[in-house]
Chains A and B, each alone.
Chain A
Amino acid sequence: MSEVLTVKLKEMLKPVNGFHMNSSLTCLRILQAVLELKKEEDTIIISKGHSAPAFYVLLWKMGLISDEELMSFAEIDGLPSHVTRGLPFIEVSSGSLGQGLSVANGIALAKKMDNKKGRIFVILGDGELDEGQIWEAAMTAAHHNLDNVVAIIDRNYHQLTGHTEDILAKEPLAEKWKAFGWEVREVENNVEKLKETIIELEKINDRPKVIIARWNW
């Protein structure tokens, strides 16, 4: 199935010179795992908004958008280049990096106040972790024991102008999140592995969780 989606993604991005193609390619399986596990009460926040094409391809696969709509990507009044509020599953617009985790915390806090169920999945880019707000939000989530927040980092080692470790080193990444009070898992970027990890993390109920999804180039 992944092969079909990759082909579709490339077809969709052909008229726009590939628009952040790598970001979408490595995010495809993460989004697929989350969408397959998503329950009614769960929320998905795509903080790395430039992976919108991957998300649209999955919506197409689910029959929620047509071929024609898919090919309207980035056309005026077509599918927006970064996800926006009002699209299926999308509660908050993206495009500016570093903001999704704070929003997830807000939803998580409201759910706790109202004793409501539901996980909040936040898809983060590894380059996005350069933004200071991510670490502000990481502290907030841990401080408030937001065990309903599940962050997934698309660890593709790639950001806009080069290799992540050349631009601004992220490692030791798992240790950083641990030190911030998060439950950390490092897994291969693979749909089944990601799903297993997400399910396994449901047992943890006193702190937020982060999955570092490593991409093997």
Chain B
Amino acid sequence: MIESFREAFGRALVEIGKKREEVVVIDADVKGSTKTIYFEKAFPKRFIQVGISEQDMIGTAAGLAIAGKIPVASAFAVFLMRAWEQIRNTVARDNLNVKIVGTHSGFSDYMDGSSHQCLEDIALMRVLPNMKVVVPADAYATKVLLEQIIDTYGPVYMRLGRDYAPRVYEDGTKIKLGKANVLRKGKEILLVAAGTLVHTALNVAKMLEKLNVDASVIDMHTIKPLDEKTLLNYAKRAELVITLEEHSIYGGLGGAVAEVLSEKLPRRVVRIGTVEFGQSGRDYLALLDRYGLTPDKIYQKIVQVVM
């Protein structure tokens, strides 16, 4: 079943808004695209429009948090990064309770091309003290993790794709902020993935069965703080660790996993992600294929490494 990240986000916000009076939503004129428009319709007095000004949006969110609100500031991931310095110097430095949600990350805004495709945000957010970084794998995970993000004090960056969200989790599955989900227990190879590539990793693991390679699959939905314990437990029994992300291999999930393993449990790590900017495409999956992020391409790459 294919669902939509932003639909899940927009609807979950409304449900959370019913329970938590302090939750307010702030927008930089993309409410129709991020789906925070649902929150505006449900709670018009708790929705703030600042126009196309992401830096002002982050500063305003900081003020709302100082005054005791739980602001959710949402826009396209790449344009939120325009406010990186505001996020650093005001939100993260003062450890303010601001929730930042970047939609349209990775290649998911395929039509708009490289300016809109955010492949650097995990790295930029992960480097900040106090900041948590969360990348849900599907629509269900988006809803469950958003609830926990709202209930946990402190700044959080949540990274979402636009629409394409193949189901990974059954309703009711336990997903806990800060705790990786082990989706498949194998031996020789460990696949660590985040976002849409969790579903892809499960497909790749099935393909590897044909070669009698038994792969573990971990959904590392919380990239910071990283669940080192689960990572080390599963890396211990593997000869090769492969990271999968719709993001640059520099500083993202691959960087985070390699940092931990090189210090605590040296293993060969192959980082699969991007090393260049994207481009326009008429079809999301075709664009993923161009950048080597489909199950077939990933499988081929792993076979090359193993053989």
**B32 contact set on A, CB distance < 8 A:** none
Interface residues on chain A, size class: 20 to 34
| CB contacts between A and B, total, < 8 Å | 101
Q: How far is the CB of A36 from chain B (nearest CB, A)?
A: 23
Is A136 a contact partner of B56 (Cβ separation < 8 A)? yes
Binary interface profile of B, 102-142, with partner A (CB < 8 Å = 1, else 0)? 00000000000000000000000000000000000000000
Q: Which residue of A lies closest to B48 (CB)?
A: A109
Interface of B is mostly: helix
Q: Determine if A93 is an interface residue (Cβ-Cβ < 8 Å).
A: yes
Q: Which residue of A lies closest to B46 (CB)?
A: A113
**B89 contact set on A, CB distance < 8 A:** 93, 95-96, 99
The 8 Å CB contact of B60, one of A85, A98, A102, A114, is A102
**A143 contact set on B, CB distance < 8 A:** 49, 51
Is B68 a contact partner of A110 (Cβ separation < 8 A)? yes
The 8 Å CB contact of A133, one of B59, B65, B69, is B59
Is B90 a contact partner of A110 (Cβ separation < 8 A)? no
Q: How far is the CB of A22 from chain B (nearest CB, A)?
A: 23
Q: Determine if A104 is an interface residue (Cβ-Cβ < 8 Å).
A: yes
Q: Determine if A137 is an interface residue (Cβ-Cβ < 8 Å).
A: yes
Interface of A is mostly: helix
Is B46 a contact partner of A104 (Cβ separation < 8 A)? no
Within 8 A of B (CB), among A2-28: none
Is B50 a contact partner of A107 (Cβ separation < 8 A)? no
Q: Which residue of B lies closest to A140 (CB)?
A: B50
Given contacts A95-B89, A109-B63, A110-B24, 18 further A-B contacts (CB under 8 A): A92-B66, A92-B90, A93-B94, A96-B86, A99-B55, A99-B62, A101-B59, A102-B63, A106-B63, A106-B64, A106-B67, A108-B63, A109-B60, A110-B68, A110-B69, A113-B46, A137-B56, A140-B53
Residues of B near any A CB (own CB < 8 A): 24, 45-46, 48-51, 53, 55-69, 71, 85-86, 89-90, 93-94
What are 18 of the A-B contact pairs (CB < 8 Å)? Answer: A93-B90, A95-B89, A96-B86, A96-B90, A99-B86, A100-B59, A102-B60, A102-B86, A103-B59, A104-B63, A106-B62, A106-B67, A110-B67, A110-B68, A111-B67, A136-B50, A137-B59, A143-B49
